[in-house]
Amino acid sequence: MVDLHSLTTFGVPATADTLIHADTPEILLSALRTAHGANTPWLVLGGGSNILFTKHFSGTIIRNELHGIHIVEETEHHVIIDIEAGENWHTIVTYCVERNWSGIENLALIPGTVGAAPVQNIGAYGVELREVLVSVTGYDIPQDTIRTLSNEECGFGYRNSIFKQELKGHFVIMSVRLQLSKQPQLRTNYGSVEMLLKHIPIAERTIRDVYDTVILIRKSKLPDPAQIGNAGSFFKNPEIPSTHAHEILAEYPSAPIFPLPNGKTKVPAGWLIETLGWKGYRNTDTGSGYAGVHSDQALVLVNHGGAQGKEIQDLAESIRKSVWQKFSILLETEVNIL
């Protein structure tokens, strides 16, 4: 039995039968073939920043530790790079910003690996990975072959992709190809980013300015997993019919709702949770008191030190129930619960 508690950002107690560090494609493929052939449960783990273990994992954890960056094509306008899946996402963002390659600067400081980034189509501050992703290459387990999926084939949506749907448990991402621009069109329309940049004239703003601003905002808003266990946003922001949103507005005229191009309306899950008084809650009455809701960010569930994964899961369920009872909205979890 192996201890996994330090391999996830929630830091809850977690164990599995076996742990394999896959730092070469051969080790990765061999581990996957063995587990698949023996019909043993397996899971590929990246940085563990979007996972909550709630019980012993009776199978093999394969830690993706493939490293490397290769330039595939470079012109005066753009650069195309292949990045191995085990690279740290933020390190790659910094690497690109240092070279003045634009496209992912808004995604600075998102924890985790490059290989997990397409799984939920990571997004922040008005940008999603799918906007720069050319293709994904990985191991197709049932077909026992390495194949490449184009951007369209990845089926990207809001915090969603084919890797969370049809290919879940069938495909392991080994590398990601991105196209970045050498003639940046900075994306600063996200409220807080624009506000902090407004002292710099638009024509003088750089990729580095956006990168630094995003880091500044994230450090001031989001709890650092090194200080307090968490996995970022626990729930997705729900999209509801506009008639439903207007019913909420009738009761809460200042509710922050956002009409979407698809005709639906986005309601921040954090606002729903905060409105119901969960912000800063700790499960002292029902459990150890170590599972809670962050005191500044209602969307972030936290481990104050000694919480079990099951306690965080139970807390998430209580929050879902209360949001359903009050607003008739069923929150969907963003974190993978095992």
Ligand X SMILES: Cc1cc2nc3c(=O)[nH]c(=O)nc-3n(C[C@H](O)[C@H](O)[C@H](O)COP(=O)(O)OP(=O)(O)OC[C@H]3O[C@@H](n4cnc5c(N)ncnc54)[C@H](O)[C@@H]3O)c2cc1C
Q: Which tokens belong to 312?
A: 């965080």
Distance CA 321, CA 330 (A): 8
Q: Are strands 57-64 and 42-45 parallel, antiparallel or unpaired?
A: parallel
For the segment 164-193, give every residue that binds ligand X (CB under 6 A): 172-173
Active site amino acids = 159, 233, 334
The amino acid occupying position 94 is: T
For residue 111, state whether it binds ligand X (rule: CB under 6 A): yes
The answer to whether residue 49 forms part of the interface with ligand X (CB under 6 A) is: yes
Tokens (6 digits) for 288: 């150890």
Tokens of 302: 């936290």
Tokens of 38: 């023996």
CA–CA distance, 327 with 309 (Å, rounded to integer): 27
Q: Which of 51, 127, 133, 214 binds ligand X (CB under 6 A)?
A: 51
Amino acid 244 reads H
Contact call for residue 308 and ligand X (CB under 6 A): no
Separation of CA 24 from chain center: 24
Asked if 50 is part of the footprint of ligand X (rule: CB under 6 A), the reply reads yes
Task: Give the tokens for residue 115.
Answer: 């290989």
115 binds ligand X (CB under 6 A): yes
Distance CA(236)–CA(13), nearest Å, equals 25
Which residue type is seen at 251? Answer: E
Q: Of residues 155, 333, 336, 337, which one binds ligand X by CB under 6 A?
A: 336
Q: Which of 11, 103, 225, 268 binds ligand X (CB under 6 A)?
A: 225
Shortest distance in whole angstroms from residue 123 CB to ligand X? 5
Per-residue mark of binding to ligand X, 126-165 (x: CB under 6 A) = -------------------------------------x--
Cβ atoms 183, 100 nearer than 8 A: no
For position 124 contacting ligand X by CB under 6 A, the verdict is yes
How many residues line the site for ligand X (CB under 6 A)? 33
Work out how close the CB of 9 gets to ligand X at its nearest, in angstroms, rounded to a whole number: 4
Q: Which of 4, 9, 93, 294 binds ligand X (CB under 6 A)?
A: 9
In this chain, which of 16, 45, 133, 180 binds ligand X, going by CB under 6 A? 45
Q: Please say which residue, 27 or 43, places its beta carbon nearer to ligand X.
A: 43
Rounded Cα distance, 122 and 116, in Å: 9
Does 43 bind ligand X (CB under 6 A)? Our answer is: yes
- Sign, CA torsion 293/297/301/305: negative
Is position 123 an interface residue for ligand X (rule: CB under 6 A)?
Answer: yes
Which residues contribute to the site for ligand X (CB under 6 A)? 9, 43-51, 64, 85, 110-113, 115-117, 119-120, 122-124, 163, 172-173, 222, 225, 230-232, 336
